[in-house]
Chain A
Amino acid sequence: MQTLTLTVFFWMTVGVMIGMVVGTLPGLTATMGTALLVPFTFALPTDAGIAMLGGLYVCAMFSDSIPAVLVNTPGTPAAMATAFDGHPMVHKGRGQEAIIGACFSSAIGTLFGAACYLLLAWPLISIALKFGPPEFFWLGIFALTIIGSLAGDSILKGLAGGAIGLLISSIGISHGNEIARFTFGVPELRGGLSLVAGLIGIFAIPQVLSMIADLRRKEFIAEYKPVGGQTMKTIVKVLAHPFHVIRSAVIGSFIGILPGAGSPIAALVSYNEAVRWSKDKSQFGKGDLRGVTASEIANNAAAPAAMIPLVTLGVPGSSPAAVIAGALMLRGLNPGPELFQSDGSLVFSFGWSLLFAGIVTFILGSLFAPLLVRIIRIPLRLLAPLIMLLAIIGAYAIRNNIFDVYIMLALGVFVFLIRRLGFHPGPIGLGLILGPIIEPSLVQAMYISDATSVWNVFFTGTINIILISLSVLSIALVVWTRHRDRMMARTGASSVSEKPDGPE
């Protein structure tokens, strides 16, 4: 504790404030924010500079939920799952509750992840090291089973949406022999689609177009009446599900440790598990606070946990962790086991600053929540063009490439149109996020299987068997739940039709 000085705390708070802006603006990711901040950290002591980067990372994992909740546009890919229930909550007049819920959940996630960093780094890393390409492939497949929860009325349309997302993610150079795929003669497509631009297109543009289409019927996104004492009420609601909270935090921390998986996968897997373990699944996707908390606890727990492989092995667990590794190396410090020996106080100071970043994020988030939620009271005629401009800037800013803006618009119009056919944007976004995880793992595992056999690589090993079992269980549960709901609906309908007419 004595390693967290007032200077470190101050600069961590500055990082948190910058993270609030970075996460809120679609297109500015935590990676971009930390990278842009690195030059400024050179003027600070090492521990303060690293704490500022950590504070930004942690807070961006919360603030990306603000646009996800209010305008159904995830600030970063990690907030995609937050939008599934957060935005419907706004339509129910519970926007303030959704933001405070996301904020408190983020704090819990960060505290848990930071506690793992401070206390359990070495035992956890030994499990994470057992993950190779086949395990990552099955982890991706397991995350893909979340389609069952997102599909809406038609599981087939959900699956088709997921497949479309995976196909879009495969545009560009292949992972095997590096050949160009689905570029249609357009050189700009050789580099693949920007994930952020794609997600903005899938979520933000259809939302803007829907706002424009709804303008003749309503003036605002939703009605909003401020509720006094909302912070305490929401905290009580979140803590009323302790098992749900712990499960989400454990999932987030564990997936955060796996290099390459990161916060988006943590949030998606956690959301899927929240649905799977829930007795009443009917409210998920329609504005259930547990959907928001599952996603936010996990994606925030993954942020400090992504630092564990960085400080123990020198392998960053996420892109912002890689930037922080770069910042350390620029100062002549080598992330890895020797950092513990040479600069042990720095390692622990960083852990404590991550932990306090969670608390500061919560304080700032709950203070600003009543102000932020007023965005939904901006008339749609002004809000729609504003989001359109931010979406264009966000898609452009990520690679400074106007082609990303064209792709974003084309995807947005496509998703807007197929929504009328009953497709949900969630599975398409899910495919887009999981494609870059599943395909490289599949190709690498196929190369490994050249030396042995497909069976040995994919279907043996404890972790593979656990992940396959969980995937099968998840699919079986979706099929069973839908069958049960259909039967119950039929029974309900027949009992209503058998009911004799009479006064109500």
Chain B
Amino acid sequence: MKRLADRDLLTALMLFAVSAMFSVGSSSDPKDWAFPLLANYVTLGIGIAFLAKFLYATAVKHTPDLLEMTAENWAAAIDVVVSLVIVLVYLFVMFGLGFWPASLAMLILTSLYLTRERTARNIRLAFIVPVCICVVSYLIFTQVFYVPFPESGWFAG
């Protein structure tokens, strides 16, 4: 069971998934598909090679190269997931609040979450730095480079 976390097996499964994802579609003219098909066959072939390597290693009882997760890894993974959730919520909220208020909220929330030593100074920094970043970015991107960012949908009009 432990061998299911073997890097070679996981690599093979990942490559099979990518290959399956890009195997849809066909047309009468090979010119449309020659290039992606070639790349797909390479992906599939390498996936098979890794699967064969895993099966051989299992048969001859080689020490598996396991993808291990220590307690520290799990804690880091939670940090990553929480940060990604904040970003995903931000991408959704952006259309309601508008780009810049939502960005400010995302920056402050992420910085606060990632601040381990919650001293008064660190918390102050977690507020001040995002405000500075948003003001500078706003000036550069909207006033100099004229990038039209999403505006508030909830408070429009």
- Asked whether A181 lies within 8 Å of B36 as measured between CB atoms, the reply is yes
Chain A: CB-nearest residue to B10: A421
Q: A36-B146, A160-B42, A179-B27 are in contact. Are A421 and B36 (CB under 8 A)?
A: no
B116 touches A215 (CB 8 A): yes
A386 neighbours in B (Cβ, 8 Å):
107, 129, 133
Q: Cβ of B141 and Cβ of A393 under 8 Å apart?
A: yes
* Residues of B participating in the A interface, judged by any CB pair closer than 8 Å: 7, 10-11, 14-15, 18, 21-22, 24-25, 27, 29, 31-36, 39-40, 42-43, 46-47, 49-50, 67, 72, 75-77, 79-80, 83-84, 87-88, 91, 94, 103, 106-107, 110-111, 114-116, 122, 125-126, 129-130, 133, 137, 140-141, 145-150
Closest to A183 in B: B25
Interface pair B126/A382, CB less than 8 Å apart:
yes
B77 partner residues in chain A, CB cutoff 8 A: 213
| CB-CB under 8 A for A385 and B106, given A213-B77, A215-B116 | yes
Closest 7 CB pairs of A and B: A176-B31, A381-B114, A213-B76, A385-B110, A166-B39, A170-B36, A174-B32
On whether the beta carbons of B133 and A389 are closer than 8 Å, the reply is: yes
Chain B residue numbers with a CB within 8 Å of A439 are 35
Contact of A167 among B40, B111, B145 (CB under 8 A): B40
Contact A393 B40 (CB under 8 A): no
**Interface SS of chain A: helix, strand, loop or mixed?**
helix
Which A residue's beta carbon lies closest to that of B28? A177
Q: List 21 A-B contacts (CB under 8 A).
A: A36-B146, A159-B46, A160-B15, A160-B43, A163-B40, A164-B18, A166-B35, A170-B22, A174-B32, A184-B24, A212-B76, A216-B76, A216-B116, A381-B122, A382-B111, A385-B114, A389-B107, A392-B87, A392-B91, A409-B91, A423-B11
A384, B36: Cβ atoms under 8 Å? no
A397 close to B147 (CB less than 8 A): yes
Complex-state Cα separation, A28 to B33, whole angstroms: 32
Give the complex CA separation of A413 and B84 in angstroms.
9
- Contact of A396 with B149 in the complex, beta carbons under 8 Å: yes
Tell me if A406 and B91 are in contact (CB < 8 A): yes
Residue of B nearest to A421 (CB): B11
B83 interface neighbour in A212, A400, A431, Cβ under 8 Å: A212
Bound-state CA distance A418–B50 (Å) is: 14
Partner of A422, one of B11, B91, B125: B11
A381 near B116 with CB under 8 A, answer yes
A32-B140 Cα distance, complex, nearest whole Å: 14
Complex alpha-carbon distance, A428 and B61, angstroms: 33
Q: Say if the beta carbon of A121 comes within 8 Å of chain B.
A: no
Q: Most chain-B Cβ atoms within 10 A of its Cβ — which of A181, A209, A381?
A: A381
- Residues of A at under 8 Å CB distance from B? 21, 25, 28, 32, 36, 156-157, 159-160, 163-164, 166-167, 170, 174-177, 179, 181-182, 184, 209, 212-217, 380-382, 384-386, 388-390, 392-393, 396-397, 400, 402, 405-406, 409, 413, 416, 418, 420-423, 431, 435, 438-439, 442-443, 446-447
Instruction: Provide the residues of chain B in CB contact with A157, threshold 8 Å.
Output: 11, 46
Please, which residue of chain B has its CB at the minimum distance from the CB of A385?
B110
A242 to chain B, nearest CB (A): 39
B29 to nearest A CB, angstroms? 5
Nearest Cβ distance between residue A399 and chain B, in whole angstroms? Answer: 10
User: A25 vs B145: C-alpha distance in the bound complex, in angstroms?
Assistant: 12
A114–B84 alpha-carbon span in the complex (Å): 45
Provide the bound-state CA to CA distance between A217 and B76, in Å.
10
In contact, A381 and B29 (Cβ under 8 angstroms): no
Cβ-defined contact, B35 with A215, below 8 A: no
Question: A446 with B34: in contact, given A182-B22, A406-B91 (CB under 8 Å)?
Answer: yes
A447-B31 contact in complex given A385-B110, A386-B133, C-beta closer than 8 Å: yes
Which A residue sits closest to B129, measured CB to CB? A382
State in angstroms the CA–CA spacing of A212 and B145 once bound together.
Answer: 30
Does A163 lie within 8 Å of B39, measured CB to CB? Answer: yes
Complex Cα gap A437–B64 (Å):
40
Q: Closest chain A residue to B67 by CB distance?
A: A420
- Of the candidates B31, B42, B94, B115, the one having the most CB atoms from chain A within 10 angstroms of its own CB is B31
A438 to chain B: which residues have CB within 8 Å?
35
Cα of A466 to Cα of B88 in the assembled complex, Å? 49
| Complex-state Cα separation, A148 to B33, whole angstroms | 26
Which chain A residues lie closer than 8 Å to B125 at the CB level? 382
Chain A residue nearest in CB terms to B27: A179
Q: How far is the CA of A423 from the CA of B18 in the complex (A)?
A: 14
Q: Decide yes or no: A163 and B42 within 8 Å by CB, A381-B115, A382-B129, A402-B150 being known contacts.
A: yes
